Amino acid sequence: MFNGKKVVVVLPAYNAAQTLEKTYREIPFDIVDDVILCDDASADNTSELARHIGIPHVIRHEQNKGYGGNQKSLYKKALQLDADIVIMLHPDYQYTPKLIPSMVNIIAQDLYPVVLGSRILGKGALKGGMPLYKYIANRLLTFVQNLLVNYKLSEYHTGYRAFSRQVLETINFEANSDDFVFDNEMLSQIIYAGFDIAEVTCPTKYFKEASSINFRRSVRYGLGVLRVSFMHLLQRLGLAHFKMYQLHKPKCKQETTPLAF
């Protein structure tokens, strides 16, 4: 618990056996109450290792549902566990769990309902080994996105994110893609819903065992990002209405009524 709020870390995993334990051991359990891992039909022993090292909630997809499908399972489970703050952390050790206290504090103090770990603030991306073509694509896509969605972020493509319960209950994340563009659709929904977003500088590491998409998938992702940005623009201007921007009314967490004797 932190400031009276339950903190849950969710780990979207795919073939993460080589880096999972190192990531898990750095999670600050003095403030993190629960951890959920979703294994998206890995070919290695990710699920078995997760149970062995003590991760309390392990979900396994028998068929690969994609990066977005993985997150959908995680967020639904986190809400079922009454999480107040949910941190999405990749178990490939590309992002350090040591930033979790800072991200949680921002949400728990009601400063911002969403926090992103930005690789672009400072020199974290290139210093950490981000391929130059990915860095250039990141900067170009972010520039276009800021114009189209009428917001200003240093990047829209980080995989290190923290959300308040209200955000996850309000946006229609289940209407999103099951592929990598899911992350971008979520940010578009969050901005359209009027939630403010904070960013913290995040160091990152690119190495052999860290997950990454190839050039072909990167191009597909980039085109998907542009599609989402134009959809956001049309929705914002009232020229179109897309299901993904339909908002839900957040549910109140049930309170236990003391028994009278």
CATH number of the domain to which 223 belongs: 3.90.550.10
Q: Is residue 187 part of a domain?
A: yes
Q: 């897309």: which residue's tokens?
A: 242
Q: 């893609």: which residue's tokens?
A: 177
Residue 40's Cβ-count burial label (10 Å; 0-12, 13-18, 19+) is buried
How far, in Å, are 37, 178, 204, 216, 236 from residue 40 at the CA level?
10, 11, 23, 21, 34
- Considering only CA atoms, which of 182, 196, 204, 187 is closest in space to residue 92? 204
Which stretches of the chain drop beneath a pLDDT of 70?
124, 207-212, 250-261
Residue 44's Cβ-count burial label (10 Å; 0-12, 13-18, 19+) is middle
Q: Is residue 259 part of a domain?
A: no
Q: Count of domains in the chain?
A: 1
Q: Across the chain, what does the average pLDDT equal? A: 92
Domain residues for the domain of 150 are: 7-245
41 and 62 Cβ atoms separated by less than 8 Å: yes
156 and 145 Cβ atoms separated by less than 8 Å: yes
- pLDDT at site 257: 39
pTM as predicted: 0.91
Q: Is residue 253 part of a domain?
A: no
Q: Is residue 256 part of a domain?
A: no
- pLDDT at site 186: 98
Q: What is the pLDDT of residues 174-215, one digit of tens each?
A: 999 999 999 999 999 999 999 999 999 998 877 665 556 777
- pLDDT at site 252: 62
Please report how the helices 132-149 and 215-236 are oriented relative to each other, as an axis angle in degrees rounded to 10. Answer: 10
Q: Is residue 1 part of a domain?
A: no
Q: Is residue 108 part of a domain?
A: yes
Q: Is residue 236 part of a domain?
A: yes
- pLDDT at site 124: 66
